[in-house]
């Protein structure tokens, strides 16, 4: 967070100038410094503090790459230029954007690239629907405009005014960042909770544990923080999002999972948490090709499918490739007693054969060195002794 920066009010001044000016005036009236930025794609002069032409100049191919006369290519180019422009500024304390579907798509990528915790808000006509494509792994707040962002009326004045005051409030009443303990990330699922909770409790005295729910967005958010340099280490106990990537489940974090670990070299301790399951929605949403597989109804909206041997091998191959790319210290622990609460003797997903294929493939494919090690342990992942081993491995890679 920039202590002496400004609230950036951004959008296309050629079509939303009245609304942007109204919002900027309200933020300024609340005692917060304000900086307006024009993202119009026609290059005409406006009342904004930063002109569209200045923003466009940050495109790798210059402003002419933005002002093409074709709306589609111009918006795409301005999106890139704005992201690079915003990254070049050192006075951004928060960003408030306005727009319809095009304006939202133009603004959102630059906001996603900003650090988590820096206030970012978009008032948008599309905020009443699925906004995951705009928010991604960031903490963008989306406010539905209700009416179109097209003039000031009894509705838009209230909604835009609320957005302005929300941004002013976030900047006037900043939350102090606790810097007394380094942050460490942990990934968790319901079936790995006992393990993750034990590890977090053991680390809490010297670290600030950040626990991420491994449902796709959780893994992406954790990796964004690693890329932002906000993590001192990662305890990736629950790598289950890879199952959904491999088998088409609903909680995939995408093929980029673990790439931030390789990019940053952050100390990493991982395990096979919940690699016994693929997540789907209600039973009638499970793809027909999986008829006859072993399922467990977690709740009315989540159906779990036990990973088979073929999937376990693919998961191990994916993990090995990612771990081999890591330049930083790596420990990856294998719980021979089962990878989740459902993968234990007497439990529905207990399948030692599938687990052993997973473990053996990892041991075969991971290029082990003094700094990159695979460690087998004769415990279930939720056994307290396995949690203790994770903490010991964490102390090794961070010592």
| pLDDT digits 0-9 by tens, 101-146 | 999 999 999 999 999 999 999 999 999 999 999 999 999 999 999 9
Q: Which contiguous run of DSSP H or E holds residue 211?
A: strand 208-213
Domain boundaries, the chain: 6-172, 183-398
pLDDT at 397: 97
Indicate if the pLDDT at residue 249 is higher than 70. Answer: yes
Interval 177-235: pLDDT, tens: 767 799 999 999 999 999 999 999 999 999 999 999 999 999 999 999 999 999 999 99
Interval 46-71: pLDDT, tens: 999 999 999 999 999 999 999 998 88
The share of the chain scoring above pLDDT 70, in percent, equals 99
Indicate if the pLDDT at residue 3 is higher than 70. Answer: no
Distance CA 18, CA 2 (A): 28
Whether 226 and 235 have beta carbons less than 8 Å apart is answered as no
CATH number of the 6-172 domain: 3.40.50.12020
**Token pair for residue 176?**
């102090």
Domain 183-398: homologous superfamily in CATH? Uncharacterised protein family UPF0261, NC domain (3.40.50.12030)
Distance CA 219, CA 239 (A): 8
Q: In terms of pTM, does the model score above 0.75?
A: yes
pLDDT at 178: 67
CA 234 to chain centre: 14
- Listed residue (306, 272, 275, 307) closest to 386, CA to CA: 272
Q: Sign of the CA dihedral 69, 72, 77, 79?
A: positive
Whether 55 and 37 have beta carbons less than 8 Å apart is answered as yes
Q: How many CB atoms neighbour CB 142 within 10 A?
A: 19
Token pair 């402003």 is found at: 63
Interval 67-113: pLDDT, tens: 998 888 999 999 999 999 999 999 999 999 999 999 999 999 999 99
pLDDT at 2: 52
**Token pair for residue 69?**
């006369």
Mean pLDDT of 4-18: 94
Q: Do domains 6-172 and 183-398 have the same CATH topology?
A: yes
pLDDT averaged over every residue in the chain: 95
Q: How many CB atoms neighbour CB 67 within 10 A?
A: 20
Q: How many CB atoms neighbour CB 273 within 10 A?
A: 26
Burial code (b: 16+ CB inside 10 Å, e: under 16) for 180-190 equals: eeebbbbbbbe
Distance CA 287, CA 300 (A): 17
Contacts of 82 (CB under 8 A, 6+ apart): 10, 37, 39, 55, 58, 106, 107, 109, 110
Question: Residues 317, 287, 135, CA angle at the centre, nearest 5°?
Answer: 70
Indicate if the pLDDT at residue 1 is higher than 60. Answer: no
Interval 274-305: pLDDT, tens: 999 999 999 999 999 999 999 999 888 999 99
Distance CA 266, CA 397 (A): 9
């Amino acid at each position: 967070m920039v202590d002496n920066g400004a609230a950036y009010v951004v959008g296309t001044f050629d079509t939303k100038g009245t609304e942007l000016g109204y919002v900027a005036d309200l933020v300024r009236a609340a005692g917060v410094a304000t900086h307006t930025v024009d993202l119009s794609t026609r290059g005409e002069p406006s009342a904004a503090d930063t002109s569209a032409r200045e923003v466009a100049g940050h495109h790798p191919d210059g402003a002419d790459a933005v002002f093409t006369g074709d709306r589609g290519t111009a918006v795409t180019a301005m999106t890139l230029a704005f992201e690079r422009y915003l990254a070049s500024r050192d006075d951004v304390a928060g960003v408030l954007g306005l727009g319809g579907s095009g304006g939202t798509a133009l603004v959102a990528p630059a906001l996603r690239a900003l650090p988590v915790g820096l206030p970012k808000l978009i008032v948008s006509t599309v905020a009443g629907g699925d906004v995951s494509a705009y928010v991604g792994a960031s903490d963008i707040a989306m406010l539905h405009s209700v009416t179109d962002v097209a003039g000031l009326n009894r509705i838009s004045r209230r909604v835009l005014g609320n957005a302005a005051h929300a941004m002013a409030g976030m900047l006037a009443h900043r939350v102090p960042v606790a810097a007394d303990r380094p942050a460490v990330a942990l990934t968790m699922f319901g079936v790995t909770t006992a393990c993750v909770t034990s590890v977090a409790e053991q680390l809490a005295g010297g670290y600030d544990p950040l626990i991420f729910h491994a449902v796709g967005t959780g893994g992406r958010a954790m990796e964004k923080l690693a890329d932002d340099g906000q993590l001192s280490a990662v305890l990736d106990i629950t790598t289950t999002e890879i199952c959904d990537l491999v088998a088409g489940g609903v909680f995939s974090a995408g093929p980029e999972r673990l790439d931030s670990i390789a990019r940053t070299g952050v100390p990493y301790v991982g395990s096979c948490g919940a690699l016994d399951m693929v997540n789907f929605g209600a039973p009638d949403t499970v793809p027909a090709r999986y008829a006859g597989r072993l399922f467990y109804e977690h709740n009315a909206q989540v159906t779990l499918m036990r990973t088979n041997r073929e999937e376990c091998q693919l998961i191990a191959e994916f993990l090995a490739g990612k771990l081999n790319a890591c330049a930083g210290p790596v420990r990856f622990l294998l719980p021979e007693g089962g990878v989740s609460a459902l993968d234990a003797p007497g439990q529905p997903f207990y399948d030692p054969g599938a687990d052993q294929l997973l473990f053996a493939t990892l041991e075969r494919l991971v290029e082990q060195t003094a700094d990159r090690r695979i460690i087998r342990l004769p415990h279930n992942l939720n056994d307290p002794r396995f949690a203790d081993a994770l903490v010991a491995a964490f102390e090794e890679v961070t010592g």
